[in-house]
A and B are shown apart, each in its own frame.
Chain A
Amino acid sequence: MATAEELKASLMDFEENYNANPKLKTMNRDWNRKVRVKATDVEVEYGLDLKDGVVRFLEQPPAEPDLVVASDGETLTSMFYGEVSPSEPYMDGTLKVTGSEEDLIRLDFVTAMIWG
C-alpha cells in the first residue's frame, strides 16, 4: 500500500516530467484544468493545476475541480510514476474518474506522451 507521502512524491515526479516535456506544453496550451487526486484507502487528497501548458502540484486539493481522479494510493502512485497507464485500472473499474470524458482521455494522452 502506498503512503500519502509516496503519492505526493509521485505527483511531484509527474509535475517534473510534465513540465520538462515541450510537446505537452504545445498540446495543452489551452487545456486549463484543476484536478483533484483522491486516494481512497489512505484518505488523502492532493491537486494538480494545469494552466497554459504547465502543471503545478497542489498540496491542498481544489474546491471546485474539473476532474476528480480516485483510486487506492498504490494505483494512483503507480499511475503518476507511469508504471501503469490510466486506461488499465480505469477499464477494470479500480480507477474512478468524475468529470468530462474529454478531460479523461486528455489525461491519458498526457501519461502516454510522458511515459509511452
Chain B
Amino acid sequence: MSLKRVLSLRTVVSTSAGLTFSTACFVAAAQVASYLAGDAAWLAILVAGVLTLLTAAVFSELNGMFPSAAGLRLYLSKAFGEKFSQVVSLLYMLVITLVVGTETYVLGHVLNYAIPAISPLIWVVVMLVVATAMNLRGVNIAGAFQDFFTYGLVASLVIFAVVAFGRTGIHLQAPLATNGLGGLFNAVAVGVFLFVGFEWVTPLAEEVTQGNVIPRGMFLAVGLLTVVYALFTMAMTATVPGALRQTLLASPTPHLVFGEAVLGRTGVWWMTLTSLAASVTTFNAGLITISRFMYASAREAVLPKWFSQVNVRFATPQNAIISLFFVGLAVSAAVFFSGRYLTLVLMGSAMESIIYAVGAWAVLTLRRRLPDQERPFRAAGGNLLPAAAVIVFGVLALGVMLQNLWVPVLLGLAALACYLYVLYAVPRLKALQAAERDAARQARAARRRPVSTEAAAAADAPTD
C-alpha cells in the first residue's frame, strides 16, 4: 500500500531549517558576537551547531520510536508520565508564544527602520492582524512554498555576506579571540537560539515513507544553518566600521544596520525583505503549532473546551487563534514599553536548552523502560551521547539564566503556574469532560447499530 502524497528529503530539510529562521535570530546572532572579543562569532555558532547535532540524534531516536505528530508531548508522556508531559508542553508553548511576541516587536522595528513614518507599534498591530488572518483562513506554508522561502532565505543571506566581504575584503580581526572560556560559553548558550525549532519537523513523520528521512533532514538542516549563520554573522561584525559595530550589537535591528553599511538603502530593503520572509515562516509555524496544540489540549480536556471551537468556513481552530492574537499583542506591547526584548530572546534560548536536555533524558529513561521497543534510529555511543546532551544543555540553560536574572524568575513563575494548573485545573476539566462523555455514551448506547449474532458470538468465544 502506498500513500498519495509523501514528502521529499529536500522539503524535510527546508521545513526543519525554515522553522528556525526568524527576525529575532539576527538579534541573537549579534548577541553571540557581543560576547566575543574579535570576529569569533563563527566559532560559537559552530560549537552551538555541533551541540545541536547531539539533539538531532536524540530527537531522531525518539521520532523513530514514536513517529507521531504529537511529537514531544508523546515522547515525554511515554518517558515521564502524563502530568510531567503536560507541564513541560504547556510551559514550552507559553515560552514559544512569548518568542512570537518578541518576533513581532523586532519585526515592527525592522519595518519602522525601512519606513520611519510609521511607528513600530502600528507595525506590530498590522503584523499580528495579518498573521492572525492568515492563520484563521488556514493559509499554511508547506511543501513547495516552504522550499521557496527557506532556500530563498539561505541564498539571500549567503549572497549578502559574499557581497559584504567583496566590498571590504576579508579582514577578520582576531577570529579565534573568544574573550576567555566564559565569553565563549555565554555566546554558545545564546547561539542555541539560532536553532530553536529545528526539531519541530518531527510531526511530519507520518508524511514520509522512509524512516530515515526525518533524521537525515534534521542533520542536514542543522549543518546548513550552522554554515549560513556563521558566515552571515561573521560578515555582519567584520565588515562594518569599528564605531558602527557597537551600534549594531546593541540594536534590535542589527541586520538592517549591517545592510545599510554595505549597500545603503538598497541594503536596508534587502534585509527588510529577508526579515519579512524569515518572520513569515515563524508566524506560520509558530502560530499554527501553538493554536493546534491549544486545540488538541482542549480536546483532551487539558484546556477549556472553548479552545476547541472550529471555524466552519476555513476549518481552523478559531478561538485558539484569536486568543493567540490577544496574547501576542499583550506580549508585544509589554516588550515595546519595557524594551526587554533580549530577556525574551534569552528565555527562548534557556527554554530550548531545557527541552533538549529533557529530550535526552527521555531517551535514557525509555532505553531503560522500553529496551525492546523498535528503534529505527539509535543515537551512537550507548548512553554517553544522550547523557552528554543532558549535562551540556542543562549547563547551557543555567548559563543563560545567570546572564539575566529575569530569565529564571519569569521561567520559574511560568513553570509554577503550569504545574499548579495541571495539578488543580486539569483534573476538574477532565472530570467535567468525563461526565459529559458518560451522558453522551449512554444516549449513544441505544443508538449503536445491532450486529449479527454470529459475529458477536465469535467475538465472545474463548480462544485457545
Chain A residues packing against B (C-beta within 8 Å): 1-6, 9-10, 12-13, 23, 26-28, 31, 34, 36, 63-66, 68, 81-85, 87-88, 90-93, 96-102, 104-106, 108-109, 112-113, 115-116
Contact = CB atoms under 8 A, between A and B. Distances in A.
Contact of A102 (B140, B308, B452): B140
Nearest to B441: A83
A67 to B, nearest CB: 8
Contacts, number: 120
Contact of A6 (B69, B206, B436, B451): B451
B269 interface: no
Interface centre among A4, A5, A12 (most CB of B within 10 A): A5
B243 interface: no
A71 B92 CA distance: 29
15 contacts: A3-B459, A4-B455, A27-B312, A31-B315, A36-B1, A64-B1, A68-B1, A87-B296, A90-B69, A92-B74, A101-B203, A108-B299, A109-B310, A109-B317, A115-B440
B312 A98 contact: no
B455 A81 contact: no
A13 B441 CA distance: 14
Nearest to B204: A101
Interface residues of B, number: 45
Given A27-B310, A99-B3, A112 B444 contact: no
> Nearest 6 pairs between A and B by C-beta?
A9-B449, A5-B455, A5-B451, A3-B459, A87-B299, A109-B310
A85 B4 contact: no
A105 B448 CA distance: 26
A81 to B, nearest CB: 6
Given A92-B74, A92-B77, 12 more contacts: A3-B458, A26-B313, A66-B4, A83-B440, A83-B441, A85-B299, A93-B70, A93-B74, A93-B78, A98-B206, A100-B206, A100-B207
B423 to A, nearest CB: 19
A40 to B, nearest CB: 14
B77 A99 contact: no
B300 interface: yes
A78 to B, nearest CB: 9
B206 A9 contact: no
Nearest to A77: B448
Contacts of B313: 26-27
B181 interface: no
A9 B310 contact: no
Given A6-B451, A85-B299, A65 B69 contact: no
Given A81-B444, A113-B310, A91 B206 contact: no
A91 B70 contact: yes
B315 A106 contact: yes
Nearest to A104: B69
A112 B308 contact: yes
Contacts of B207: 99-101
B77 A91 contact: yes
Given A26-B313, A27-B315, A82 B206 contact: no
B251 to A, nearest CB: 37
Contacts of A115: 440
Nearest to B311: A27
Nearest to A30: B315
B300 to A, nearest CB: 6
B413 to A, nearest CB: 27
Contacts of A84: 437
Contacts of B66: 93
B74 A91 contact: yes
Contact of A64 (B2, B203, B206, B444): B2
Contacts of A23: 312
A26 B1 contact: no
A98 B3 contact: yes
A81 B2 contact: no
A45 to B, nearest CB: 9
B144 to A, nearest CB: 14
Contacts of B140: 102
Nearest to B453: A5
Interface string B286-308: 00000010011001100000001
A91 B78 contact: no
A68 B206 CA distance: 10
B368 interface: no
Contact of B459 (A1, A102, A113): A1
Contacts of B73: 91
Contacts of B450: 9
Contacts of A90: 68-70
B300 A88 contact: yes
Contacts of A100: 5, 206-207
